[in-house]
A and B are shown apart, each in its own frame.
Chain A
């Protein structure tokens, strides 16, 4: 019995061995064919994993959601100090056979700011030689900071005010050369002031009056006319070299009382010097703003240039300084850490002045700090700047967008 069992086992083993021998390929071609034949019995459809599917969605769908035509999510910032803003918009960027674009949006922010805007732009008229743009907007900024006017304003006098504006305007520019844009614009705006809604600081009227805060309590409509010249030869737009210069002259014509008209001249010069293959950049900026009023007229505080905040004096709070004249110098050393991420060391210095004669480099407020920029060739998408060295404490700014 046992012997028979072993005989049977032996038979099957021999049969198996023979089968093995029969399968042994006699040639390389046959060996390869057998391997493919074996795989052909086990083919299965390719199944992407969860991460792969998520990446596909992010790249093929989510990008279009953020940058999509039609309805789109409006994310970012409304103005300096507004906090993160979110809302919805509608846009069409290929109007009139790609000659024009329209953008309508409304958004609110984490600090209670909100705004809505409609903008129609024709950037490519006459083979990009002509730019025409028009807009209408409404803005409500409920807690703008005000510390007083002039370089000696006190940090302890911090107050807030609300400003609500409607704006309607347009501008046109001609581009005789690719780097030069010159033009002018017209804008109607009706700023209205109200009590500040920041519960942590007093409202403006509790500390200041129309003498110390000109324009407080007044309602003025303005017609603003502007002429400008802009030279832009940055390479690339998120510059590694080149320059961007802008000069603009604006007249704010008080159409209500005739007592608050202002004429302002702004100069903004930005220069970028790259070295080590453009992976190190020295970026500098000089901004000068000077304003004047007619005889018997005064300049409302809310129309004055300001310094302080994430894009001017970064060691100070938003709008820390305010005055009819202002000068600001900024310098950054930027170094590329990885593609898409730059580090930056910065130094800011500037002041506001009550008299044009005081627009000089004496007694400047200053700060320094460091930051990181997540960027592309064309723009800084997101940055973190930490400012130190001022009399206003330390400040950390997390901002969607660049500085200069």
Chain B
């Protein structure tokens, strides 16, 4: 704009009066152009949106991206893929929530008490249960460390069958059942998983069944001896049958995995860098709670779904929960996962140079004696702020207090009863396992909520009543993550939606209450008003990070239209 003005002055000095006027007009128009674009309102009439139509454009031409263990490890450990920036998540709506999309569907997070324990337990399952009668073995299992194979039901639906290790019966299958239910209730897309009894003698192998030979990688017909090898590594029940995990293949065409960074260049709907997606950043909180140390791109799944007209879109799944909680899939989880990256420079060099005299803190954790089906899991030493996945995750690295607050609120909505009901779904044969897992998850939930609900001013559900009183709720106190006390600082402002300008109204108020009167003149003369609320609590310095709320005048009152935290 400044450079445009200088050009105009130069034109005028040449003495062409009319030309000078035209130049001024031109300058004004050119200056106005960008001004018009930048004047996009802060809040559109349809804000806040609760559904992101990321299936709008045809993505049927996308090609699979299938990362490998080594590549994913190296890229994320020794480079910094994606953008590491302290910037607000880019897919949140104006009230700081995640709209429904092909990545995420609001369940317990938005609907709270209306989302029942029964719904949480059912999870993604479309069937009440499965029986393997009439199913045929239709192929080998070529990925992952857990022994298994593929079966097809009489309708032709494909399933993956996986069996627990002999050393830890029920370990991985329970982890998968529990993890799937939790992640689904949180809002992620997950595949149906069921538990079933398998009679090995009744297995029938399809004539068309093939397996990728584990010895040479070539596909060949599946033989019964291949299944013998699977069952050699499988936990058998005393009655000779096997408890198996049955995972239903998701509909659509497999496209490999998504990444926790970047965007698919071939998907027109994928416009938000994944490291800036709120639900991927916040997955760090859920990962800590459930010890999903395997939260990485290769444990995700992209499926191409198509409409009748051939238009396609990608649905993104969280995938493979067999090594969460205390499970290492085929053994009790090791001590390091969840506590330190596979490769972390500082502790390694310290250990090397001190000949092992330096002891990593996690090496001193005293894990409780638990049934083998639990593996290695605990809640006493668990510190959610120190939890780590197997290697750096770009989205996790970008997690900010507002992302964590969003996720912690979701975690806080899982009641003790709901957690217990989900754990029961795993059908541990030892009641002590059910009891321990439930108690551990409750304690870990409480720690997660306490850690991340208090990182910002935990103000939620503000509303302005018709008589000019604002009331709000302290989420941390409500969740039991903070003791009542402290005070709130309120600063009202008038908000210009066209320019995003804020004009303070009145002075800063301090109150111990969760309600206050709105300045009368503010409500009378504004279309948009806002309030910045911070709090002071001796034990929670994070409360000083303010939360800001925007209200729009609506028929019959004021509607919350914007939320910013931190």
Contact = CB atoms under 8 A, between A and B. Distances in A.
Q: What band does the interface of chain A fall in when counting residues whose beta carbon is under 8 Å from B? A: 35 or more
Contact of B29 (A17, A45, A46): A17
A73 to B, nearest CB: 14
A37 B57 contact: yes
A43 B314 CA distance: 15
Interface string A4-40: 0011011001101100110011111101110111011
B110 interface: no
Interface string B277-303: 000000000000000000000000000
Interface stretch (A52-60, A160-168, A183-191, A352-360): A52-60
Interface stretch (A62-70, A139-147, A222-230, A259-267): A62-70
Nearest to A338: B348
Nearest to B343: A338
A46 B351 contact: no
A59 B36 contact: no
A3 interface: yes
Contacts, number: 168
B44 A339 contact: no
Contact of B225 (A24, A27, A40, A97): A97
Interface stretch (A197-205, A275-283, A295-303): A275-283
Contacts of A60: 68, 217
Contact of B71 (A52, A280, A333): A52
A388 interface: no
Given A17-B33, A98-B228, A69 B213 contact: yes
A43 B363 CA distance: 48
Nearest to A99: B225
A43 B362 contact: no
Contacts of B267: 43
Contact of A68 (B44, B56, B216, B232): B216
Contacts of A45: 61, 63, 265-266
A223 to B, nearest CB: 36
Question: Interface of chain B, helix or strand or loop or mixed?
Answer: loop
Nearest to A56: B68
B19 A3 contact: yes
A369 B75 CA distance: 36
A2 B62 CA distance: 53
A99 B71 CA distance: 35
A337 to B, nearest CB: 5
Given A97-B225, A277-B335, A17 B36 contact: yes
A37 to B, nearest CB: 7
Contacts of A279: 335, 360, 363
Interface in A46-105: 46, 51-52, 55-56, 58-61, 64, 67-70, 93-94, 97-99
B33 A16 contact: yes
Interface string B38-74: 0010001111010011101110011101001111001
A98 B269 contact: no
A58 B363 CA distance: 33
Nearest to A61: B217
A337 B351 contact: yes
B275 to A, nearest CB: 17
A36 B56 CA distance: 8
B30 A13 contact: yes
A310 to B, nearest CB: 22
B130 interface: no
B223 interface: yes
A276 B271 contact: no
Contact of A28 (B44, B63, B362): B44
B365 interface: yes
Nearest to B360: A279
B501 interface: no
Nearest to A278: B335
B265 A335 contact: no
Interface residues of B, number: 73
B18 interface: yes
A37 B356 CA distance: 57
A45 B33 CA distance: 35
Given A27-B46, A97-B224, A59 B70 contact: yes
Contacts of A28: 44, 46-47, 49, 93-94
A308 interface: no
Residue with the highest number of chain A CB atoms closer than 10 Å, among B44, B47, B226: B44
A206 interface: no
Residue with the highest number of chain B CB atoms closer than 10 Å, among A279, A280, A345: A279
Interface stretch (B20-28, B186-194, B380-388, B411-419): B20-28
A182 to B, nearest CB: 22
A3 B18 contact: yes
A392 interface: no
Nearest to B73: A55
A384 to B, nearest CB: 14
B296 to A, nearest CB: 15
Interface string A331-347: 00101111100010100
A44 interface: yes
Residue with the highest number of chain B CB atoms closer than 10 Å, among A51, A59, A277: A277
Contacts of B268: 36-37, 39-40, 43
Contacts of A44: 265-266
B523 interface: no
B30 A46 contact: no
B229 A98 contact: yes
Interface in B303-344: 334-336, 342-344
B223 A97 contact: yes
Residue with the highest number of chain A CB atoms closer than 10 Å, among B19, B223, B268: B268
B364 interface: yes
B264 A46 contact: yes
Contacts of A33: 53, 56
Contact of A345 (B44, B215, B355): B355
B37 interface: yes
Contacts of A6: 18-19, 22-23, 26
B45 A27 contact: yes
A68 B351 CA distance: 37
Contacts of B370: none
B364 to A, nearest CB: 7
A46 B61 CA distance: 11
B32 interface: yes
Nearest to B267: A43
A280 B354 CA distance: 13
Given A52-B71, A59-B71, A98-B228, 17 more contacts: A9-B26, A10-B25, A21-B36, A27-B45, A28-B93, A31-B40, A36-B57, A44-B265, A46-B63, A51-B71, A55-B71, A59-B69, A128-B232, A279-B335, A279-B363, A336-B351, A339-B336
Interface of A: 2-3, 6-7, 9-10, 13-14, 16-17, 20-21, 24-29, 31-33, 35-37, 39-40, 43-46, 51-52, 55-56, 58-61, 64, 67-70, 93-94, 97-99, 124, 128, 276-280, 333, 335-339, 343, 345
6 contacts: A43-B265, A43-B267, A60-B68, A93-B215, A277-B362, A336-B351
User: What 10 pairs between A and B have smallest CB-CB spacing?
Assistant: A335-B356, A6-B22, A40-B268, A97-B225, A277-B335, A55-B71, A276-B363, A98-B225, A69-B215, A69-B216
Interface of B: 16, 18-19, 22-23, 25-26, 29-30, 32-33, 36-37, 40, 44-47, 49, 52-54, 56-58, 61-63, 65, 68-71, 74-75, 93-94, 213, 215-217, 223-226, 228-229, 232, 264-271, 334-336, 342-344, 348, 351-352, 355-356, 359-360, 362-365
